[in-house]
Structure 1
Amino acid sequence: MINAITSISPPTFPLLATATESEYAPIVLTGVLLSLVVIYIASKLGGELSRMLDFPPVLGELIAGVVIGASALHLVVFPESGAIASDSVIVSILKFIDNLSPETLTSIFQSQSEVISVLAELGVIILLFEIGLESDIRELQKVGYQATIVACVGVAVPFGAGTAGLMLLFHVPAIPAIFAGAALTATSIGITSKVLSEIGQLKSKEGQIIVGAAVIDDILGIIVLAVVASLAKTGEVDVANVIYLIVSATVFLIGSILLGKFFNKSFVAIANVLQTRGNLIVPAFIFAFFMAFIGNAIHLEAILGAFAAGLVLDETDKRKELDEQVKPIADILVPIFFVTVGAKVDLGVLNPLVPENREGLIISTFLIGVAILGKIVTGWSVFGQSGINRLAIGIGMIPRGEVGLVFAAIGTASGVLDKPLQAAIIIMVILTTFLAPPFLRLTFGESQKQVESAKQVKQADLAR
């Protein structure tokens, strides 16, 4: 998802451009440091306020990102959201500190934004590594077939209903309708897994089904995106590329888990031999980043590699010790990811007073309905599981988060999506992202109350 760090420079003087970039590197660093100060303050305030209101802290971090981002204060904004250097309050502060030309400010803004985006991407990689460590590979294997069914239903139903509805009800052309339908298939594993971890349901049967389904959903989403992207470019589907993605995803996940059984002993042996600081955490991160690299290199996702690495190391004798060492690092980098997801959201598309937003708002109402119902039905695709919380599984699959925004960005860049449809997709992503965490908490809370009530009734019956 992250491109290489680039900056705008005069095309005819590459040597001069390099010198200029080097000269202003301290100013870029100043902007990055100030951005991190703002992000951390926002994440803590948002998280603490959310906790006080009995909501998952991640929801507060997302909302804090919205407040400091493109929707409100413009403290942390990004070029991919349509912002320019003059929109950024932090860049304005840098301009005040050093009297810089507009061209230089643009270059600094681009570089600073890329650095924050890379840190955010590292944050989600570490988050998925941590989630992998907290998951139980044996439990995931037990619900593997259920998770696969949930993922397939969660992709097929929203995609089919969304595409057909847009074409029949709103007369949207086929390719844009297919692209919008594809955006409905996404599930943000980062947001869902974080909420499950916070409410202590990650290792529950429902939690394992949700996480497993979200991982498979992410793979299916990549394949769907490859199909619709090639369809948008050429009008034809690249069958060879689709087959390659399916095979590589299957081999990667299954192969990494199988090979992990042999790697575990080697990992523990290496950690025991090393005597300097970081003897456990450094080899673990080497493995996690290498797996993430392989995931990216074969055109999957880095987060899938990190998750697989966490699952592998979850089987080692040093898992608990490793888990404790990963948490402080996750506490530093993961909030950057959630705050930047919120910061990239522009709530301006929700303003009905802007004429060009109205059509998008109407279409978004339809997309939101399909997005929610299309994932909730996945809970009822689970069979052979007595006492399972089907509603919680469905709600856990709802948030689109950064994955949905990627679909919208690629569709816009390819010229497939017009403004109303683009706005409708972004609105759908916003609402599904923010609605899912509190409802997931509420659903699991109600389920827990029912279990406790049943226990009390059973104890009362036995007492009689």
Structure 2
Amino acid sequence: MTITPSLNVLIDPGGFRTLLATAAEVEADGATVLGGVLLSLIVIYLASKLGGEICARINLPPVLGDLVGGVVVGISVLNLIVFPETGAQASDSLIFRFIEATGSLTPETLAASFSAESEVINILSELGVIILLFEIGLESELGELIKYGPQAAIVAVVGVVAPFAMGTVGLIYLFGTPVIPAIFAGAALTATSIGITAKVLAEINKLSSKEGQIIIGAAVLDDILGIVVLAVVASLVKTGEVQVTNILFLSVSAGAFLIGTILVGRLLAPYYVGLVAQLKTRGPLLIVSLIVMFLLSYVAAAIQLEAILGAFAAGLILGETEKHHELEEQVIPIADMLVPVFFVVVGARTDLAVLNPAVPSNREGLIIATFLIVVAIIGKVITGFTIFGQPDTNRLAIGVGMVPRGEVGLVFAGVGAASGVLSESLEAAIIVMVIVTTFVAPPLLRLVLERGAQTSSSTEEA
């Protein structure tokens, strides 16, 4: 999942470049940017809390409330939280209309301020998913991940190969899609949003279960494979040929990074504990841990991997120390502040207009989207049934846990749109697939896990 390339790749080439040109000529007003960020955070937290509370009361995952709340305040409904990358302008944002009405800014300064404010919210969103993966790493047990490593690897590989092959071949032979766009759309089907699934697992206390560890391990490996697939298809679009050296570099660097950080981290863990014990100022454990997390996130991003992989690795390493319980308690308030920003922003970027069949240009996309949704779900659900040597495993839950595409699928769609390789109908179909899998997976995963627990309990009683 992650986010390199960041969610900022979701651009409307014409309008966004014009906006960037304007922003380059005129400086943003600092007070306006700050005011926009503050109002946006108020809206984000209200949407997150209201949506989460409603979902919790009707026995749905609260994370689904964050996503729905984001849709309501985003481009699809209220236009409170909108982004220039989607083609929106300052006049499209109700927040900036309010700021414009209460101030005296030129249109150029307002546009520059809107662009700067959106970038701040984007950064806070990416920090949110970094903190989320750090927290997940802390709560995961490295020994358990290693124990289920072979099963997780099989799930990840099948979860990439199966939907990619079915999607690409189906688009070519059923819909007559050209080869390169079909390959790109097939690649978008390989993504898995580890953040959404992990949040659901944590909410129902299944993160440390056998199924939870396999899902997390598989999602991390799936993320690495997704990076390689994205690099391959992006290279194919640009050059018309696959650069083998780039594939090898990404594959080797990903494996070396994860294994290397874990091995080095275990060696340095005693020094980390000793350093924390020696510091006398406020918050030594949290600050030192955040430094480790940001350092590994930067290294991962610098070698063209996902920053969240570095955060997850940092969580795994620090979760093995004697300070992990205390650290988990201190990270929770930070996660409560930043993680909702990530999920609400994902929802706010979701444009439900592509689901409107009354628009002629949407109809072809909806037909293709139906096919992609079926492939997206089946291609991931079957992964759970590849598990071997693990009796009493909820295989369906593992497959369902790999279904949501979330922001990762949007990254694929954004890269395809920016490159011009995707037609409007195919781009809309990918977005619809991302929307459906993102919103369907959380309640379905919860249902499958709870039913599995009930069946297991009934079997034990019998």
TM-score (norm 2): 0.95
Q: Does 1:194 align with 2:199?
A: yes
Q: Partner of 1:298 in structure 2?
A: 303
The residue type equivalent to 1:85 in the other structure is: A
Q: 1:248 & 1:81 partners in 2: Cα distance? A: 32
Q: 2:172 & 2:341 partners in 1: Cα distance? A: 38
1:380 Cα deviation after fit:
0.7
Q: Partner of 1:367 in structure 2?
A: 372
Q: Does 1:29 align with 2:37?
A: no
Q: Partner of 1:113 in structure 2?
A: 118
Q: 2:165 aligns with which of 160, 185, 200?
A: 160
Q: 2:278 & 2:40 partners in 1: Cα distance? A: 40
Asked if structure 1 preserves the Cα contact closer than 8 Å seen for 2:372 and 2:429, the reply is yes
Q: Partner of 1:125 in structure 2?
A: 130
Q: Does 1:264 align with 2:269?
A: yes
Q: 1:154 & 1:378 partners in 2: Cα distance? A: 6
The residue type equivalent to 1:432 in the other structure is: T
Corresponding residue SS for 1:395? helix
Asked if structure 1 preserves the Cα contact closer than 8 Å seen for 2:400 and 2:445, the reply is yes
Q: Partner of 2:452 in structure 1?
A: 447
Asked if structure 2 preserves the Cα contact closer than 8 Å seen for 1:123 and 1:337, the reply is yes
Q: 1:401 aligns with which of 390, 399, 406?
A: 406
1:264 Cα deviation after fit:
1.1
Q: Does 1:311 align with 2:320?
A: no
Q: Partner of 2:279 in structure 1?
A: 274
Kindly report which structure 2 residues correspond to 1:413-452, keeping only aligned pairs within 5 A, or say none: 413-452=418-457
Q: 1:65 & 1:335 partners in 2: Cα distance? A: 10
Q: 1:426 & 1:82 partners in 2: Cα distance? A: 15
Corresponding residue SS for 1:280? helix
Once superposed, which parts of structure 1, at least 4 consecutive aligned residues long, lie more than 6 Å away?
Answer: none
Q: 2:219 & 2:304 partners in 1: Cα distance? A: 18
1:454 Cα deviation after fit:
1.6
Uncovered stretches (5+) of structure 1, i.e. residues with no partner: 458-464
Q: Does 1:356 align with 2:357?
A: no
Q: 1:234 & 1:100 partners in 2: Cα distance? A: 45
Q: Does 1:323 align with 2:328?
A: yes
Asked if structure 2 preserves the Cα contact closer than 8 Å seen for 1:77 and 1:343, the reply is yes
Asked if structure 2 preserves the Cα contact closer than 8 Å seen for 1:264 and 1:316, the reply is yes
Q: 1:101 & 1:88 partners in 2: Cα distance? A: 16
Q: How many residues of Structure 1 are paired with residues of Structure 2 in the alignment?
A: 449
Q: 1:135 & 1:289 partners in 2: Cα distance? A: 19
Q: 1:297 & 1:282 partners in 2: Cα distance? A: 22
Asked if structure 1 preserves the Cα contact closer than 8 Å seen for 2:22 and 2:108, the reply is no
Asked if structure 2 preserves the Cα contact closer than 8 Å seen for 1:408 and 1:426, the reply is yes
Q: 1:227 & 1:219 partners in 2: Cα distance? A: 13
Corresponding residue SS for 1:394? helix
| TM-aligned CA distance change 1:191 to 1:10, over 3 Å | closer
Q: 1:139 & 1:369 partners in 2: Cα distance? A: 32
Asked if structure 2 preserves the Cα contact closer than 8 Å seen for 1:8 and 1:106, the reply is no
Q: 2:263 & 2:22 partners in 1: Cα distance? A: 51
Corresponding residue SS for 2:366? helix
1:9 Cα deviation after fit:
5.6
Q: Partner of 2:337 in structure 1?
A: 332
Asked if structure 2 preserves the Cα contact closer than 8 Å seen for 1:69 and 1:76, the reply is yes
Asked if structure 2 preserves the Cα contact closer than 8 Å seen for 1:215 and 1:304, the reply is yes
Q: Does 1:211 align with 2:211?
A: no
Q: Partner of 1:184 in structure 2?
A: 189
Q: Does 1:85 align with 2:90?
A: yes
Q: Partner of 1:136 in structure 2?
A: 141
Q: 1:280 & 1:323 partners in 2: Cα distance? A: 11
Q: 2:21 & 2:227 partners in 1: Cα distance? A: 33
The residue type equivalent to 1:43 in the other structure is: S
Asked if structure 2 preserves the Cα contact closer than 8 Å seen for 1:184 and 1:404, the reply is yes
The residue type equivalent to 2:309 in the other structure is: L
Q: Partner of 2:12 in structure 1?
A: none
1:10 Cα deviation after fit:
5.5
CA displacement 1:76-107 (0-9 Å, x = unmatched): 01112221221111110111111222222211
Kindly report which structure 2 residues correspond to 1:93-112, keeping only aligned pairs within 5 A, or say none: 93-112=98-117
The residue type equivalent to 1:236 in the other structure is: E
Q: Partner of 1:225 in structure 2?
A: 230
Q: 2:193 & 2:294 partners in 1: Cα distance? A: 20
Q: Give aligned-pair identity as a percent.
A: 61
The residue type equivalent to 2:148 in the other structure is: V
CA displacement 1:22-79 (0-9 Å, x = unmatched): xx11111000000000000110000111100111100000000000001100000111
Asked if structure 1 preserves the Cα contact closer than 8 Å seen for 2:61 and 2:446, the reply is yes
Q: 1:54 & 1:438 partners in 2: Cα distance? A: 9
The residue type equivalent to 1:296 in the other structure is: A
Q: Partner of 1:61 in structure 2?
A: 66
Q: 1:83 & 1:143 partners in 2: Cα distance? A: 45
The structure with more radius of gyration: 1
Asked if structure 2 preserves the Cα contact closer than 8 Å seen for 1:341 and 1:401, the reply is yes
Asked if structure 2 preserves the Cα contact closer than 8 Å seen for 1:9 and 1:107, the reply is no
Q: 1:439 & 1:48 partners in 2: Cα distance? A: 19
| TM-aligned CA distance change 1:286 to 1:73, over 3 Å | same
Corresponding residue SS for 2:284? coil
Q: Does 1:235 align with 2:240?
A: yes
Corresponding residue SS for 1:331? helix
Q: Does 1:76 align with 2:81?
A: yes
Q: 2:404 & 2:324 partners in 1: Cα distance? A: 29
Q: 1:42 & 1:349 partners in 2: Cα distance? A: 23
Asked if structure 1 preserves the Cα contact closer than 8 Å seen for 2:192 and 2:223, the reply is yes
Q: 1:385 & 1:268 partners in 2: Cα distance? A: 36
Asked if structure 1 preserves the Cα contact closer than 8 Å seen for 2:137 and 2:312, the reply is yes
Q: 1:10 & 1:190 partners in 2: Cα distance? A: 35
The residue type equivalent to 1:312 in the other structure is: I
Q: Does 1:171 align with 2:202?
A: no
Q: Which has the higher contact order (CA 8 A, sep 6+)?
A: 2
